[in-house]
Amino acid sequence: MKVTVMTADEQILTVDVDPDESVENLKALLEVETSVPLRQQQLHFNGREIQNTDKLSTVGVQDGDLVMMVKVTSNERPSQDIIRLNPDGSAVDPQAFRQHIRGDSQLMGQLLQNDPALAQAILGDDINELQNTLRSRHQQRLELKRKQEEEIALMYADPFDVEAQKKIEAAIRQKGIDENWEAALEHNPEAFARVVMLYVDMEVNGVPLKAFVDSGAQSTIISKSCAERCGLLRLLDQRYRGVAIGVGQSEILGRIHVAPIKIGHVFYPCSFTVLDAPNMEFLFGLDMLRKHQCIIDLKDNVLRVGGGEVSVPFLQEKDIPSHIRDEEKLSKLASLSQGAAGESSTAWEKTPDAPPRAPTTGAPAVNPPQPQGGGDFEAKVTKLVELGFDRASVIQALKLFNGNEEQAAAFLFGG
């Protein structure tokens, strides 16, 4: 609706406002048009002064009505009760305090530039937020004052006082830390943001999932639940079970020696260590990264596989499921990866057929079965040769894995 406003100097203005607009906002528009500060305006309608908190429709202002504006000039300072603060820094009368600050356009401009949080609290409708912000600013002032007093005291401290010299040393060190922090904010602000881990889309045995790419984990890891969902649990070799102990601890259920994974449009053979880890699904470790000649290209934000024959983009944060992004679960995942396959972790391995072994570092180790001799060994050679491998390579692989047919097959398929 359009409201006609007549000023004290008989200037007539037409202002387009909403019927539910507050009188205070109408005064703000008039401040722009007339350069009369909001706090010096008095608006009268039908011979009665209307207050800032009133709505135009509530006081009866309708389309085409006339409102009188009177300029109030006063050299008196604002009432001390309006700006008075409690000992904890909060306002005695927060409503009046907020209205007083809002009415001073110059002060509000300074607040918006120098302290946006306090300015937003004043412009908002939450009194509790305003009071909490005022208390916070009060605490900051007290802390700054305390530090200044300590610095002055140290300037005049006895140079032979050991405790004073320790405080001076701590102050100098803290100053260096603060300067380093300020330099980081200016030159390296991204260091203060949370880093999104590297995930890519993969398919394990035909089942799509989000794979965590971790070059710091020595082995590729899959959880029991994920292996079951991918139909691989039936291939679990429990002879490789044990306990991984590092930053965290998790039970190693065994190993799946070979299964197909799909990266992009190409299939690759992969082996997995199976962990009883409900907070982690699939971790693509250094063993498979090296085997398939992967390149973590952070410039183009892609994972290149096979020396570059396949490139898959790393997932953006919005594409990573919330249960994976959870920081607590990521920390558990880091503990598991270090405990099961980390470079600096220590794992105590135990198998059903052997006593506990000494602690080992790196990938989980087990007591492998001894090679079978005679006809049984020849039968394994024949079976692997039928898969298309030459006899010499088959015999070498079986000897390498002490007669373990599945491990030899995995080695030959991945070679």
What contacts 96, CB < 8 A, 6 or more positions away? 81, 82
Q: Is 293 helix (H, G, I), strand (E, B) or coil?
A: coil
Q: What angle do CA 332, 335, 341 make, to 5 degrees?
A: 135
Quote the CA–CA distance of 293 and 305 in Å, as a whole number. Answer: 6
Quote the CA–CA distance of 30 and 13 in Å, as a whole number. Answer: 9
Q: Which amino acid is at 220?
A: T
Decide if 81 is catalytic: no
Cα(first)–Cα(last) distance of the chain, in Å?
A: 80
Quote the CA–CA distance of 73 and 156 in Å, as a whole number. Answer: 51
What are the φ/ψ torsions at residue 146 (nearest 5 degrees)?
Answer: -60, -45
Helix axes of 374-386 and 391-400: crossing angle, nearest 10 degrees: 130
- Distance, C-alpha 234 to centroid of its chain: 37
Q: Is the dihedral of CA 378, 415, 370, 255 positive or negative?
A: negative
Burial of 263 (0-12, 13-18, 19+ CB in 10 A): buried
Q: Which amino acid is at 293?
A: Q
Contact present, 302 and 313 (Cβ < 8 Å): yes
- Distance, C-alpha 80 to centroid of its chain: 45
- Picking from 210, 223, 217, the residue whose alpha carbon sits closest to that of residue 254 is 223
Q: Which amino acid is at 44?
A: H
The single residue of 65, 178, 214, 237 carrying the catalytic annotation is 214
Residues with catalytic roles: 214
